[in-house]
Chain A
Amino acid sequence: MENGKLITIQNLVKHYPMGKGRFTALKDINLTFEKGEFSGVVGPSGSGKTTLLNIMGSLDVPSEGTVRVLGSEIGTLSHKAAARLRNHNIGFIFQTYNLMPVYNVFENVEFPLLLLKMPVKERRQAVLDALEWVGLSDKVKSRPKQLSGGESQRVSIARAMVKRPHIVLADEPTANLDADNSHHILQTMEKLNRDLKTTFIFATHDDKVIQYLKRKISLADGKVQSDEKSPGNRNPESGHEIQ
Chain B
Amino acid sequence: MIRFIIKGLIRDRHRSLFPMITVTMGVALTVVAHCWVNGIIGDFIDYNARYATGHAKVVTRAYAENLDQSPNDLALLDVDQWMDTLSHRYPDLDWVARIKFGGILDAPDSLGETRAQGPAFGFGINLLSKNSREIERMGIRDGLIRGRLPQDSGEVLISESFARRLEVSPGDTVTLLGATMYGAMSVHNFRISGTVTFGVKLLDRGALIADIKEIRKALDMENAAGELLGIAKDHHYDDDQMNQIKSDFNRHFSESQDEFSPVMLSLAEQNDLASMLEYIQSMVTIMIFVFVLAMCIVLWNAGLIGGLRRYGEIGVRLAIGENKGHLYRAMILESASIGFFGSILGTIAGLGIAWYLQTYGINIGDLMENATMMMPNTFRAGITPPAYFIGIIPGLIATVLGTSLSGIGIYRRQTASLFKELEA
Residue ranges of A at the interface with B (Cβ–Cβ < 8 Å): 50, 53-54, 57, 59-61, 79-80, 82-88, 90, 92, 94-96, 98, 100-103, 107, 111-112, 114-115, 159, 171-172
Kindly list chain B residues whose C-beta atoms are within 8 Å of the C-beta of A171: 419, 423
Given contacts A60-B415, A94-B423, A100-B313, contact A86 B324 (CB under 8 A): no
Within 8 A of A (CB), among B379-424: 415-416, 418-420, 422-424
Top 4 closest pairs, chain A to chain B, by CB: A87-B321, A60-B416, A86-B321, A83-B323
> Which one of A94, A114, A159 lies within 8 Å of B4 (CB-CB)?
A114
**B316 lies within 8 A of A94 (CB):** yes
Chain A residues within an 8 Å CB radius of B317: 111
Note all chain B residues with C-beta closer than 8 A to A53.
Answer: 419
* B319→A102 contact, CB < 8 A: no
| B367: chain A residues within 8 A (beta carbon) | none
Interface centre among B7, B422, B424 (most CB of A within 10 A): B422
In the complex, the answer to whether A83 meets B321 with C-beta atoms within 8 Å is: yes
Cross-chain contact B322 with A115 (CB below 8 angstroms): yes
Number of interface residues of B (CB under 8 A): 29
Contact pick for B321, options A95, A115, A172, CB 8 Å:
A115
**How far in angstroms is the closest Cβ of chain B from A158?**
13
CA distance A111 to B318 in the complex (A): 12
In the complex, A80 Cα to B424 Cα: how many Å?
26
What is the CB-to-nearest-CB distance from B12 to chain A, in angstroms, rounded to a whole number? 4
Residue on B nearest A88 in the bound complex, by CB? B321
A64 to B356, CA, bound (A): 71
The reply to whether A79 and B320 form a contact with Cβ atoms under 8 Å apart is no
Q: Is the CB of B419 within 8 A of A102?
A: no
Taking a contact as CB atoms closer than 8 A, the residue among B4, B8, B313, B415 that contacts A82 in the complex is B415
Interface status of B112 (Cβ within 8 A of chain A) = no
Selected A-B contacts with CB under 8 Å, 16 pairs = A59-B415, A60-B415, A61-B416, A83-B324, A85-B321, A96-B422, A98-B313, A98-B422, A101-B313, A102-B7, A102-B11, A103-B7, A103-B8, A107-B4, A107-B7, A172-B423
Counting CB contacts under 8 A, is B307 at the interface?
Answer: no
| Chain B residue with the shortest CB-CB distance to A95 | B423
Distance in angstroms from A214 CB to nearest chain B CB is 23
Taking a contact as CB atoms under 8 Å apart, the answer to whether B323 and A79 are in contact is: yes
Interface residue B111 (Cβ < 8 Å from any Cβ of A): no
**Is B423 a contact partner of A83 (Cβ separation < 8 A)?**
no
Question: What is the CB-to-nearest-CB distance from A121 to chain B, in angstroms, rounded to a whole number?
Answer: 15
In the bound assembly, the distance between CA atoms of A61 and B414 in angstroms comes to 11
Assuming the A-B contacts A100-B313, A102-B8, are A94 and B422 also in contact, with contact meaning beta carbons closer than 8 angstroms in the complex?
A: yes
Task: With both chains docked as a complex, state the minimum distance between the C-beta of B157 and any C-beta of chain A, in angstroms.
Answer: 70
Do B315 and A50 touch (CB < 8 A)?
A: no
**What's the minimum C-beta distance from A93 to chain B, rounded to whole angstroms?**
10
Contact indicator B12/A102 (Cβ below 8 Å): yes
- Contact (Cβ within 8 A) A84 B323: yes
Whole-angstrom distance between the Cβ of B321 and the nearest chain A Cβ: 3
Complex Cα distance A114/B7, Å?
14
Given known pairs A98-B315, A102-B7, the reply for A50 and B321 (CB within 8 Å) is: no
Interface string of B224-239 (1 = CB under 8 A from A): 0000000000000000
B312 contacts the other chain (Cβ, under 8 Å)? yes
Q: Which residues of A lie under 8 Å from residue B416 when comparing CB positions? A: 54, 59-61
Q: What separation, in Å, do the CA atoms of A84 and B317 have in the docked complex?
A: 12
Are A59 and B418 touching (Cβ within 8 A)? yes
Contact B12 A79 (CB under 8 A): no
Contacts of B315 in A (CB 8 A): 98
Q: Across the interface, do B320 and A111 meet the contact criterion of CB distance under 8 Å?
A: yes
Residue of B nearest to A156 (CB): B316
Docked CA distance A87–B321 (Å)? 4
Contact (Cβ within 8 A) A83 B4: no
CB distance from B204 to the nearest CB of A (A): 61
Interface residues of B in 302-319 (CB under 8 A from A): 312-313, 315-319
| Given A98-B312, A98-B315: A80 in contact with B323 (beta carbons within 8 A) | yes
Contacts of B318 in A (CB 8 A): 83
Known contacts A94-B423, A96-B422; decide if A59 and B320 are in contact (CB<8 Å).
no
Q: How far is the CB of A85 from chain B (nearest CB, A)?
A: 8
Which chain B residues border A84 with CB–CB below 8 Å?
Answer: 321, 323
CA distance A86 to B312 in the complex (A): 18
CB pair A86–B319 under 8 Å, yes or no, is: yes
Residue in chain B with minimal CB distance to A116: B321
A84 to B8, CA, bound (A): 24
Q: Which residues of A contact B184 (CB under 8 A)?
A: none
Contact A54 B419 (CB under 8 A): yes
For the complex formed, measure the closest distance between the CB of B417 and the CB atoms of chain A, giving whole angstroms: 8
Which B residues touch A82, using CB under 8 A? 415
List chain A residues, Cβ under 8 A from B11. 102-103
List A contacts of B320 (CB < 8 A): 86-87, 92, 111-112, 115, 159
Give residues 22-46 of B contacting A (CB, 8 Å).
none
Q: Are B7 and A112 in contact (CB under 8 A)?
A: no
* B1-21 interface code vs A (CB 8 A; 1 in, 0 out): 100100110011001000000
Most buried by A among B321, B325, B418: B321
Residues of chain A contacted by B324 (CB below 8 angstroms)? 79, 83
Chain B residues, Cβ within 8 Å of A102: 7-8, 11-12, 15
Q: Mark B48-64, 1 if CB is under 8 A from A, else 0.
A: 00000000000000000
